[in-house]
Chain A
Amino acid sequence: MTTSPIDQEELIQFLYLCPVGIAQIDPRGTISLLNAKGSQLLMPHARRLGLENLFDILDRYDATLRHLSATSEDHGTLCEHQVVQLESAEKPQHLAFTLLKTSPETIMAVFEDVTRVTEAEAETRDLLTSTAIERGRSELAAEVLHDIGNAVVGIGTRTASLLEDSQWPELIQLGKLGGFLSSRSEALTATLGEKKADALIKLVNEVHGSLESRRQRTEESMQSFTMSVHHIQEILNLHRHYARQSAYAGRERVSLKVIAEDALTIQAAALAKRSITLERRFAPDLPKLSLDRTRMIQVLGNLLKNACEAFDACPPAAGRKIVLEIARDKAGSGLCMQLRDNACGFAPERAELLFEKDTSTKGRGSGLGLYHCRKVVESHGGTLVLQSDGPGLGASSILTLPNSPTPEPDHADHLEHENPGH
């Protein structure tokens, strides 16, 4: 078949403008044909070398292609989508090469920039790794929580039994003895003399009074202890519930208020320890959202924990306060949650730095850092930002979550808890 000059010109333009790099090389890498995209991709790395030899350009990054091309085979595919990482001033560039040997002295090279795809793959890999780690942690946590739970049940049972025995029959008998001696004081005086009789009655009554007040203190302590054990059991149940859930985490329509309340229960001790007043400002009739409740309670718990710990950097002061506000977002379909504290705050320009991986404001790692919190929120299509007017001026965490098409009014908030149980 013959081709007219116009067809040849079109063919050249077609190859020239083809949006992937195309080169014809010999087995030593010498370039005989190269299209525009090829030049665009290689030139920044070739510089003074020019575009005479493909392997001379690539060798300082990766000599794989040179080695693959040294094959004694006459023809055939030498590699497919072989990625070469080329360093550049800004960030590494990844080019994927396919080499097809068409004759002993001719190799067709097709290559494209796969930097974005490679970065996206790396991000996905990171996410999968962190998800796997998170899942492993959850499973471990569930086991540990189960064991601790069993131990706490033992403590609770023993405490309850001690409370049942809190009347101390010996003390009752001692009280009766005191009463008996008082009622027989005349006979005692006749036998022992007034001084000794009074001293004996006084001694018995004082011992009884002293023991009775100790018994009451012990009983109060036991009651307080019992309440603490109950509280620990509640927290353990919540944690266990969410730890177990995360092994098969999924989305369900759930109230953000319920998640917030659960996070608050878990962080109750952190709030109480620092004498922080919590103010809830929940708007009525908020829609339920499609959320991964396990992950979201971790996010809210982490934001609360950070807010609590921010007070540790402040001088002790009265009026420590956290305001937790949940309202509809500006569009009216999604939700906006704000967590404001009047703690130490931070310089406004540091806000984004706090989200960087492995960054901690406290100099130590936390279970779910802000980096992961934001990842979780973003996986729900939402946003998470931190704001502060400056050091000493408090800080806010602002979380927005969009809604999927059919919002359901939030009428059954507190019916959502299933019995955590064993």
Chain B
Amino acid sequence: MSIAILRAAVVLYVASAALYLAYFSRPRHARLATVGFWALTAAFVVHAAAIGAGCREFGGMEFFTLHGGVVLAAWLGAGAYLVLQRIYRVPTLGAFVLPLVLLVLVPAALADPAHPDVPPEVVRHAAFHVVAAILSLALFGIAFGVSVMYLLQEREVKGKRFGALFSRLPSLESLDRLNQRLVRAGFAVFTVALLAGTLNATVVWKSAWSWDPQQITSVLVWLLFGAMVELRRLGWHGRRYAVLTLVGFLVMAGAMGGLRAFPGATRHAGNYGTEAGAGGAP
């Protein structure tokens, strides 16, 4: 049921992505971007319905699987983009963010979700933690798109190419600033997610730290983005910052997605074992 609605949303996402890409290739037709925006809004609403239906079907368990996590990440990413679009009006960003959304969402929509089996008490306790972690991933995902735009534009400007990309992409400064804001916001949300997760671990696993692979990678990612926020204060910006953002997002997405591909490797997937010590803390 929820997967059928999700597939309808994917069709709308594809339409929106096509419109944004068409706008990028023909920036004089501003209506393409406007229609793309509304198509995306429609996709977002239908996607929300799919998630709502999923919640009724699986009682929130699906967010703990790779499938559900990806679906939620794409939804939050699309929502964040809609908000950004309202504030900054950078319609060309759509051509970079929406393919990213589709990249994760299409495989998820094609596969049938395996019925998740997560202890209800874990769901109850960790729901906020999971949603916050996935929201920060979505924000870093948009920052990833912005960084790609920055690097492309920098190549044009520095290399004196002044081609099609030069005229279509926004200024380096605005991309850099947007990237910085997204990284900062993503870092703040990620921090909250880690704190909530630590709290959950204390309650459910009776131990804040259990050398779980997900915990380790999360702390590394947190340190990386924390360093970025601090480096920014020291004057880091531009190209180096954009490259760091790309690396940061890939590490984070790899850690969150990759670990879920191996059920049992982490207590964040498969063995949510509530019995103390199941994670094998030293």
Q: Do A and B come from one complex?
A: no
Show the binding face of B for A, using Cβ within 8 Å: none
